Structure 1
Amino acid sequence: MRIECVSLQAQKLGSFDGVTWVEGSKDPAFLDDHEVEAEVMAMGLSFNDVACAMEIVPEFLKVHTDLVMNVQASYAGLVTVGGAATIPVVYTTAVYSLINIANLQRGQSVPIHSAAGGLDQACIQIAQHVGAEIYITVGSNEKDHICSRCGLLSDHVFSSTNPQFADQIRKQTGRRGADLIINIIIKDLLNTS
Structure 2
Amino acid sequence: MQEVLVSKETEVVQSVSTTRGLTTESRRLQQDLEKVQQLEGKITEELSTLKEQVSTMDSELHTYGDLETLRQTAEDKRKRLLEERVSLTQHQDSFGQLLEEMNQKHEALKIKLQENETHAQLTNLERKWQHLEQNNFVMKEFIASKTQESDYASVAKIVSQQVEEYNKSLIESLQTNGLK
For Structure 1 versus Structure 2, the TM-score category normalised by the shorter chain is under 0.3
The structure whose residues are more often strand, as a share, is 1
Please, what TM-score do these two structures have when normalized by structure 1? 0.15
TM-score normalised by the chain length of structure 2: 0.16
RCO greater where, 1 or 2, for CA within 8 Å and sep 6 or more? 1
Instruction: Compare CA radii of gyration and give the structure with the larger one.
Output: 2
